[in-house]
Amino acid sequence: MTRHFLRDDDITPAEQAEILDLAAELKKDRWADKTLAGPKTVAVIFDKSSTRTRVSFAVGIADLGGTPLVITTASSQLGGKETPADTARVLERQVAAIVWRTYAQKGLEEMAAGTRVPVVNALSDDFHPCQLLADLLTLREHKGELKGLTLSFFGDGRSNMAHSYALAGAMAGMHVRIASPEDYAPRADVVADADRIGASTGGSVVLLTDPLEAAAGADVVVTDTWVSMGKEEEKLARLRDLGDYKVTPELMGLADDEALFIHCLPADRGYEVDAEVIDGPQSVIWDEAENRLHAQKALLVWLMRQAD
């Protein structure tokens, strides 16, 4: 059966663990698995800029014996003359999977509804589920068990990253704290979904406005840009509104002594995080960036297995 990965909760907790196990396995020998030999082609489409996602999908597909076809929306008919559903019907006759970075989640849903091949969300305005697989893999490597860890996110709680931490974190049995101003709190329906997931895994999501309360004793400290792609016009308001949620050495000092710092990157040093933290000893951002490769390869292999 074709499975899609449009949101973090398109997989079950057991499937999330299975994909993370597979990622750890694939990481041991990058060229051992040739699931995409043929070579099969995977379309990787970008409506927004990217460094990590573009490179890690292209390299990962090649590692698996496949051919990456990287397309920018500006140079295709998608987004202008052609709907996601029609694009999907064209692509499915020629590619093994479609990976798409876009704005509206609805476009991804239309793409998935129109095709028999797996569709993967490579970041939308609402979720960044591939990033979460890499983040969870990184935390597993550094902390062992994910279940029971407290992860505190600071800043734009309505961002794709905060939403994905809520869903994927609860799914992994983690206690996710999201610290943001009230106007930047996560969407209520996403929190409700995370609560439902947490009820079965022992995980939880708590929304806070006090950054000090959110930092206290945390095992993992996370932030993201205050100005996500597509929000550039709100930049001045966001810098003003989110200023109290900066991750400083003082905030980091309230977390557990062994706390890790992660950030999906790209980062604005001096805004959402001070250089002393992101470039300091508790930061594991380069492992996190590398793990995009391993996690996404595992996801592709897993999706291909479901389709067999």
Question: Known binding site for carbamoyl phosphate: residues?
Answer: 50-53, 77, 101, 128-131, 264-265, 292
Binding residues: 50-53, 77, 101, 128-131, 160, 224, 228-229, 264-265, 292
Whether 224 is catalytic is: yes
Residue 160's binding partner among ligand CP, ligand NVA, none (Cβ under 5 to 8 angstroms by kind) is ligand NVA
> Hey, which residues between 152 and 171 contact ligand NVA (CB under 6 A)?
159-161
* Minimal distance, residue 117 CB to ligand CP, in Å: 22
The yes or no reply on residue 239 touching ligand NVA (CB under 6 A) is no
Q: Tell me how far the alpha carbon of residue 193 is from its chain's centroid.
A: 17
Return the number of the residue (50 or 102) whose C-beta is nearest ligand CP. Answer: 50
CA–centroid distance for 264 within its chain = 8
51 vs 248 by CB, closer to ligand CP: 51
CB 23: neighbour CB atoms within 10 A? 24
Residue 159 interacts, among ligand NVA, ligand CP, none and using kind-specific CB cut-offs from 5 to 8 Å, with ligand NVA
Summarize the annotated binding site for L-ornithine as residue ranges. Answer: 160, 224, 228-229
Residue tagged active-site, from 16, 131, 282, 296: 131
Question: Which residue stretch of 68-76, 208-216, 224-232, 286-294 sits at the interface with ligand NVA (rule: CB under 6 A)?
Answer: 224-232
What is the greatest pairwise CA distance in the chain? 55
Indicate which of ligand CP, ligand NVA, none lies near residue 228 (CB less than 5 to 8 Å, by partner kind). ligand NVA
Q: Which of 177, 219, 264, 296 is catalytic?
A: 264
Q: How far is the CB of 229 from ligand NVA (least distance, A)?
A: 4
**Known catalytic membership, residue 93:** no
**Where does this chain bind ligand CP (CB under 6 A)?**
50-53, 123, 131, 264-265
List the one residue from 17, 264, 277, 289 that touches ligand NVA (CB under 6 A). 264
The reply to whether 292 belongs to the active site is yes
Residue 281: asked if its preceding bond is cis (omega within 30°), the reply is no
Q: 299 — phi, psi (to 5°)?
A: -60, -45
Known catalytic residues are: 101, 128, 131, 224, 264, 292
